[in-house]
Amino acid sequence: MEAAGVEWLLVPMHQLVSWGAAGAMVFGGVVPYIPQYRDIRRTQNAEGFSTYVCLVLLVANILRILFWFGRRFESPLLWQSIIMIITMLLMLKLCTEVRVSNELNIKRRSFAAADSKDEEIKAPPKRSYLDFDLNYFWHWSKFTDYVQCVLTFTGVTGYITYLWLDSSLFVETLGFLAVFTEAMLGVPQLYRNYQNRSTEGMSVKMVLMWTSGDTFKTVYFILNQAPFQFSICGLLQVFVDIAILLQVYLYSYYPQKPVSHTAHPASTKAL
C-alpha cells in the first residue's frame, strides 16, 4: 500500500517536472533577450546590440527546423527554434526602427534595391536586384527587407533540403551546421564590442544568461555523452561568452580610446 501511495505521488510530480523542463527548453532561449529589448526600447539606442546576433540565430534555427525533417528530434527543441525565430524578428524590427529614427541624411539601403530611392540626393540608385554589397548587407532601412532576406534563405535551403533529404550525409551535415552556427552566436557581439572599444549599450544581463545557459547545456551534452560535435560546439560557445564578459571588465576598468566617428559613418556601422 505504501509503495502504491508513493508511486501515485511520484507519477504526477514526474509529469510536472517533464512539463517544466519542456517549457524551460522552449522559452529559456528567449529570456536573455528580454532585458536587451527593454533597454533598447527605453533608451531608443540600439548601438550596443549587434543585429548580426539575430542573423546568426535566424540561420541556426532555420537550419535546425530543416534538420528536423531529416531526423525527428524532440518537439520542445523544434518549438524552441520557432519561438526563437519570432523573437529575433521582433528584435530586428525594434533595432531597425530605432536606428533609422536616430540617423539623419543617410542613403537608404534595401534588400531588393530595384525600387529603392536614394533619399539623400533624391535620385534613383544604380539598378540591381539584390544589394549584397558587404558594406551594406544586413544594414537595410526597412524591417520588410530583413523579412524578404529570411524568406529567400528559407526557400533556397528548404528546396535544397527537399532534394537531398534521403542523403544521411547531407542530413547529418545540416545538423552540424545548425549547431555550429549557434555556437558562433556571441562572435558578432564580441566583434562589435571590439570595434566600439566599449560594451556600453549592451545588456550584461543578457550575456550572463547566455553564459549560464550555455554552460548548463554543455555540461548536459558531456554527461549524457551527446555526439562529439555537440560538446565541442558547446565549449566554443561558452568560451565566446566568457570572452565577452572579459570585455565588460576590460572596457569598464580600463577605458579605451573612442573610435573616430569619421572612420565609421552612420550608414556603414555594423548593427
| 137-161 confidence digits (pLDDT tens) | 888 888 999 999 999 999 999 999 9
For cell 529575433, name the residue. Answer: 88
* pLDDT more than 90, % of the chain: 25
Residue 37 lies in a domain: yes
Strands annotated E in 43-105: none
Rounded to a whole number, what is the distance in angstroms from the first to the last CA of the chain?
A: 64
pLDDT in tens, 72-114: 877 777 888 899 999 999 999 999 999 888 876 555 566 665 4
Nearest to 181 by CA among 76, 83, 58, 31: 58
Q: How far apart are CA 23 and CA 227, in angstroms?
A: 24
Residue 243 lies in a domain: yes
For cell 571588465, name the residue. Answer: 249
Alpha carbons within 13 A on the beta-carbon side of 81: 20
Q: Looking at residue 46, what is its pLDDT? A: 85
**Phi, psi of 112, rounded to the nearest 5 degrees:** -100, 100
Residue 178 lies in a domain: yes
Q: Looking at residue 206, what is its pLDDT? A: 78
Total Cβ atoms within 10 A of residue 239: 12
Residue 266 lies in a domain: no
Cell of 271: 548593427
Q: Looking at residue 112, what is its pLDDT? A: 63
Q: Looking at residue 263, what is its pLDDT? A: 37
Q: How far apart are CA 146 and CA 137, in angstroms?
A: 10
The mean predicted confidence, pLDDT, of the chain is: 77
Say if residue 23's pLDDT is above 80. Answer: no
Say if residue 262's pLDDT is above 50. Answer: no
The secondary structure of the chain in percent helix, strand, coil, rounded to multiples of 5, reads 70, 0, 30
Q: Does residue 112 sit in helix, strand or coil?
A: strand
Q: How far apart are CA 188 and CA 88, in angstroms?
A: 14
Say if residue 54's pLDDT is above 80. Answer: yes
* pLDDT more than 70, % of the chain: 71
User: Most confidently modeled of 35-49, 102-116, 188-202?
Assistant: 35-49
Q: Looking at residue 159, what is its pLDDT? A: 96
Residue 122 lies in a domain: no
Q: Looking at residue 269, what is its pLDDT? A: 31
Please say whether the beta carbons of 77 and 179 come within 8 A.
no
Q: Looking at residue 111, what is its pLDDT? A: 67
Q: What is the DSSP letter of 8?
A: H
pLDDT in tens, 25-35: 677 778 888 88
Residue 87 lies in a domain: yes
Residue 147 lies in a domain: yes
Q: Looking at residue 123, what is its pLDDT? A: 44
Residue 50 lies in a domain: yes
Q: Looking at residue 129, what is its pLDDT? A: 43
Cell of 73: 528530434
Say if residue 38's pLDDT is above 60. Answer: yes
Q: How many domains does the chain have?
A: 1
Enclosing domain of residue 179: 7-105+138-253
Confidence of residue 122 (pLDDT cuts 50, 70, 90): very low
